[in-house]
């Protein structure tokens, strides 16, 4: 064997080792990959994706003073197209002041209550969905970039444990379907990796825009397990784990899903 | 109206007791439960309906049934056509009751088990997914599927 052949073989073995060291993570696909070509086109087209109505409403809310003498979001976050571009890619994240895990919804509510001194919108309210869809849309196309180490580590681990634990009367873990059976058919639906990169999303089944936690509640119901509250520690941790799995995938908010 | 509310209250109050009522006992022999649960006789017609029913059996979410015309059938479990030639009634019964006894990693839910489950939704807690009678109905139907 020539030196070059040996070198090639050695390099090949290295590539194999590298592939083996990065298991499922490298293969996680966006929910978009499981949509029909027509739905993909609709999602990409701002004039045909219904969720852009929510984005528009969010943009308007962002500039509107909550009270005549109050401050609009835009008075602090000037030029949001630039200043908040990419912000959504870092959520969920650990809030430095409280050491609690916050998703984008949580951060918006925190700003509204603590800085604007207004009552919280409430999870799944049209206003919070609109604001979340708008802020998510400012990161459209940018890769998910959440921290899963340091202060985030315990939350990430809790989310991973949740993902891997069998639950409900039907005794299924998230992992069994969303790692092991991806691409298979559950009645008319195709099992995906469970990447949350399109949320809030317009879902045909809802005929409405909903949050990722609304989608997670539907999954819990599907296996006849406890539906945790919107914004619950369980779903927040799971959201971080899912975002960790989806690191590098582009944000697609506002997405369209079946 | 009032008496009806009182009755509902009484049933709710008794719910905790009723829901932990023991399931019909059974004996596993090899990879089968040879004897019908509770000594009940199954009805294949009712079983066929349970297999299709999206609220009860919902088998077609994962399995392909025998009716090609049925839209949107699952591809996760083995197809049901001819299952009666591959497995006898007792073998089918164990696979419905608690498939994890044969394969701990299985994705087949346990349809007649209330123990060692986690975070079960309130309305399903302490109850099996299918009753003993429903299990027997589905066993009768599946055991009758002898052709492909």
Query: What is the ipTM metric for this complex?
Result: 0.85
B73 is a domain residue? yes
In whole angstroms, what separates CA A225 from the centre of its chain?
21
Q: Rounded CA gap, B99 and B103, in Å? A: 6
Q: Rounded CA gap, B19 and B24, in Å? A: 13
For residues A121-141, give the mean pLDDT: 98
Q: Rounded CA gap, A45 and B67, in Å? A: 39
B17 is a domain residue? no
Q: Which long-range contacts (CB under 8 A, 24 or more apart) does B126-133 make?
A: B126/B19, B126/B20, B127/A169, B127/B19, B128/B23, B129/A169, B129/A170, B129/A224, B130/B50, B130/B56, B130/B57, B130/B96, B132/B23, B132/B24, B132/B37, B132/B38, B132/B40, B133/B38, B133/B40, B133/B42
- Residue B146 gets which letter from DSSP? -
The tens digit of pLDDT for each residue in A14-62 reads 444 444 444 444 589 999 999 999 999 999 999 999 999 999 999 999 9
Confidence (pLDDT) at A26? 52
* Residue B121 and residue A224 in contact, taking contact as beta carbons nearer than 8 Å: yes
- Select A31-258's CATH number: 3.20.20.150, 1.10.540.10, 1.10.760.10, 1.10.510.10: 1.10.760.10
Cβ <8 Å between B121 and A225: yes
Distance from CA of A229 to the nearest CA of B (A): 13
DSSP 3-state of B123: helix
Q: Rounded CA gap, A207 and A214, in Å? A: 13
Q: Match 């899963």 to its residue by tokens.
A: A148
Cβ <8 Å between B74 and A187: yes
Q: Rounded CA gap, B10 and B12, in Å? A: 5
Confidence (pLDDT) at A191? 93
Bridge-based pairing of strands A255-257 and A201-203 is: parallel
Total residues belonging to chain B: 148
Q: Rounded CA gap, B33 and B94, in Å? A: 5
Q: Which two tokens stand for residue A93?
A: 């994240």
Q: Which two tokens stand for residue A29?
A: 């696909």
The tens digit of pLDDT for each residue in B72-100 reads 899 999 999 999 999 999 999 999 999 99
Confidence (pLDDT) at B68? 82
User: Chain B contacts of A166, Cβ < 8 Å?
Assistant: 117-118
* Residue A193 and residue A178 in contact, taking contact as beta carbons nearer than 8 Å: yes
Confidence (pLDDT) at B69? 84
Range of the domain at B101: 23-143
* Residue A43 and residue A55 in contact, taking contact as beta carbons nearer than 8 Å: no
Confidence (pLDDT) at A187? 85
Domain count, chain B: 1
Total residues belonging to chain A: 258
Nearest to B75 among A165, A169, A184 (CB): A184
B49 is a domain residue? yes
Confidence (pLDDT) at B21? 66
User: Chain B contacts of A168, Cβ < 8 Å?
Assistant: 117-121, 124
Q: Which chain B residues have any C-beta within 8 angstroms of a chain A C-beta?
A: 60-62, 71-76, 100, 107, 109-110, 113, 117-122, 124, 127, 129
* Residue A245 and residue A192 in contact, taking contact as beta carbons nearer than 8 Å: no
Query: What residues does A190 pair with on adjacent strands?
Result: A185
Cβ <8 Å between A224 and B120: yes
What does pTM read for this prediction?
0.87
The tens digit of pLDDT for each residue in A209-258 reads 999 999 999 999 999 999 999 999 999 999 999 999 999 999 999 999 99
The tens digit of pLDDT for each residue in A79-107 reads 999 999 999 999 999 999 999 999 999 99
User: What is the longest distance spanned by two Cα atoms in chain A?
Assistant: 82
DSSP 3-state of B99: helix
The tens digit of pLDDT for each residue in A155-185 reads 999 999 999 999 999 999 999 999 989 999 9
- Does the pLDDT at position B12 exceed 50? no
- Does the pLDDT at position B7 exceed 80? no
CATH code for the domain of B27: 1.10.760.10
B84 is a domain residue? yes
B136 is a domain residue? yes
Distance from CA of B90 to the nearest CA of A (A): 21
For residues B32-55, give the mean pLDDT: 97
Cβ <8 Å between B61 and A187: yes
Q: Which residue has the higher pLDDT, A181 or A8?
A: A181
């Amino acid at each position: 064997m020539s030196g070059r052949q040996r070198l090639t073989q050695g390099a090949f073995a290295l590539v194999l080792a590298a592939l083996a060291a990065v298991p499922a993570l490298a293969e996680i696909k966006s929910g978009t990959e499981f949509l029909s070509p027509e739905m993909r086109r609709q999602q990409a087209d701002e004039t045909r994706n219904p969720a852009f109505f929510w984005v528009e409403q969010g943009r308007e809310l962002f500039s509107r003073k909550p009270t005549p003498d109050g401050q609009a979001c835009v008075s602090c976050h000037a030029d949001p197209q630039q200043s908040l571009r990419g912000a959504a890619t870092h959520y969920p994240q650990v809030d430095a002041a409280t050491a609690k895990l916050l998703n984008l919804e949580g951060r918006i509510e925190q700003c509204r209550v603590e800085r604007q001194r207004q009552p919280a919108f409430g999870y799944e309210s049209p206003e919070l969905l609109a604001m979340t869809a708008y802020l998510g849309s400012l990161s459209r196309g940018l890769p998910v970039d959440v921290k899963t180490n340091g202060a985030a580590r315990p939350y990430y681990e809790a989310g991973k444990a949740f993902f891997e634990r069998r639950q409900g009367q039907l005794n299924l873990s998230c992992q069994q379907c969303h790692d092991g059976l991806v691409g298979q058919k559950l009645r008319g639906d195709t099992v995906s990796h469970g990447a949350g990169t399109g949320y809030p999303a317009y879902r045909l089944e809802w005929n409405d825009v909903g949050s990722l936690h609304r989608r997670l509640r539907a999954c819990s119901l599907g296996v006849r397990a406890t539906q945790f509250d919107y914004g619950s520690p369980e779903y927040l941790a799971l959201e971080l784990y899912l975002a960790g799995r989806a690191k590098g995938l582009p944000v697609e908010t506002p997405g369209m899903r079946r | 109206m009032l008496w009806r509310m009182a009755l509902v209250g009484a049933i709710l109050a008794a719910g905790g007791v009723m829901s932990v009522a023991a399931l019909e006992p059974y004996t596993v022999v090899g990879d089968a439960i040879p004897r019908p649960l509770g000594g009940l006789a199954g009805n294949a017609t009712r079983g066929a309906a349970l297999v299709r029913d999206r609220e009860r059996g919902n088998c077609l979410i994962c399995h392909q049934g025998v009716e090609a015309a049925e839209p949107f059938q699952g591809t996760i479990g083995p197809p049901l056509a001819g299952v009666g030639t591959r497995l006898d009634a007792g073998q089918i019964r164990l696979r419905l009751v608690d498939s994890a006894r044969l394969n701990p990693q299985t994705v087949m839910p346990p349809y007649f088990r209330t123990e060692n489950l986690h975070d079960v939704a309130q309305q399903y807690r302490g109850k099996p997914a299918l009753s003993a009678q429903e299990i027997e109905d589905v066993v009768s139907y599946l055991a009758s599927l002898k052709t492909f």
